[in-house]
Chain A
């Protein structure tokens, strides 16, 4: 089946450009209060395109700032989890035997633990609202699936002729992993990494929704949705704006990931 990935790319590109350019487009910043317009609906004359919240903060500015957080966090945490997952999976798969069994047994145990709990425990360890901590916490538990996928691929690569040739040529294990194994798993890694990004974004929003993630005065799509849900009776735009942004972001990343997976890693549907 041919999957088109360009619409998703366009949407993501537009969102990213908008998020980065927002400070230059709108006169408002994520924490300026506009006393003239408290809880104002979307309007053009005061340049509150998405309306304001109860404190008179511009929702466009806040939404775009939250989008920057989501994108940055999504990319960074995914990088962390890809790094750990690829190294772990390739090592286990290549070495095999008892080391493989022990390493994958560890993955299985952590896998059986509910993901949310690990992140909630970890998020209590760091000072509240520290973004770096948040992405380490999410990235550190997101590597499990990646490790499994990479191990599976490595297991089949290890018995191929070019690896035997490299061993015969006297290459050391790290060199074989780096020069011969990694280049061959990269397609699957990219595809699954793209699917990891929306999960990370979702997770960050989920934690922020519960009040465990991004803290005031900064906004996250999750915390904006939480605030909006409390005010939805009188000012529904406060809910609809962040909910719409998050939906768009998740759908775009998911369809991009699905498309990439079909192209780069066919056969493991």
Chain B
């Protein structure tokens, strides 16, 4: 198991390298640079700016410098936010983004798993069918539709939560963003759990448990849940990617000062280093979550314990 984990961690390196290299060169292929504004700058000033940020050097030299900076944990200076390092900018928004994202993930799994398990248990009931039909909506609708609709209903028509004008530390502003992020994931998790739980409940060891006289509650939670969770855990990885993407939208809809806006604004402004920094930070986060999900998978299912090469 340990050897497998180590091998997987080492395996992250090529993926990260591809990510850095790809984004570095592709972004620089883009027409228009960070200093192209409505008015063209006088050539001398332009040359000075380029020299100050090292943009006058050959592309490969710039690439080498960027990699060297990365090795020291420095993501370079932001081109648009004067006198700010990219690291500082991202660090200022990341705690809020992480709070929202992690709460959403926890909420989604805490809500989705019991709902799905219950729907499998009451497979033939109408409530379960209605629940699953409703979850289809959650799976199909994107955050940028759910978010504004929730804000309209629970922020304006029936104002129980706050929308817009974020005050740091007040959880009333964070409820709707977290719910918006969690809903689609919860819906998908519920569907996954329902499907796999239905399979598990048909298997022999459940029949044995029933035959030896266990109560239905004990069967459902003690025996059936763990094997039924396997596909759910393997969804953890994609769910992380989904939540990262969704947080871009949610932060924009609810006006939250997270780090997502730097990615979008950076892409519009051609702030090379900022976009790359964001992609790296969010990319590493996603990859690590994928890894954790894969390791948890082996732990949950003894049949596929992946330690052996």
A interface, CB within 8 angstroms of B: 109-110, 112-118, 120-128, 198, 202, 205-206, 209-212, 222, 225-226, 228-229, 232-233, 236, 239, 243, 246-247, 250-251, 254
Contacts and interface: CB of A to CB of B under 8 A. Distances in A.
Given A124-B30, A212-B267, A254-B140, A243 B148 contact: yes
A220 B259 CA distance: 25
Contacts of B201: none
A128 B270 CA distance: 11
Given A109-B18, A116-B248, A232-B152, A124 B275 contact: yes
Contact of A228 (B141, B148, B249, B275): B148
Nearest to A125: B30
Q: Which 3 A-B pairs have the closest CB atoms?
A: A229-B148, A125-B30, A209-B144
Given A113-B18, A113-B19, 14 more contacts: A109-B15, A112-B15, A114-B244, A115-B245, A123-B267, A124-B270, A124-B275, A127-B31, A206-B249, A210-B264, A232-B148, A232-B156, A247-B141, A251-B137
Contacts of A251: 136-137, 140
A225 B147 CA distance: 10
Interface in B228-269: 241, 244-245, 248-249, 252-253, 263-264, 267-268
B149 A239 contact: yes
A211 B29 CA distance: 20
A122 B144 contact: no
Contact of B151 (A112, A198, A229): A229
Contact of B15 (A113, A222, A225, A246): A113
Contact of B14 (A109, A122, A126, A198): A109
Contacts of A232: 148, 151-152, 156
Interface residues of B, number: 43
A210 B249 contact: yes
A117 B141 contact: no
7 contacts: A113-B18, A113-B283, A115-B241, A116-B248, A117-B282, A121-B275, A236-B152
Interface stretch (B20-28, B64-72, B97-105, B217-225): B20-28
B191 to A, nearest CB: 12
B287 A212 contact: no
A259 B219 CA distance: 34
Contacts of B145: 225, 243, 246-247
Given A212-B264, A225-B148, A233 B245 contact: no
Contacts of A206: 142, 144, 245, 249
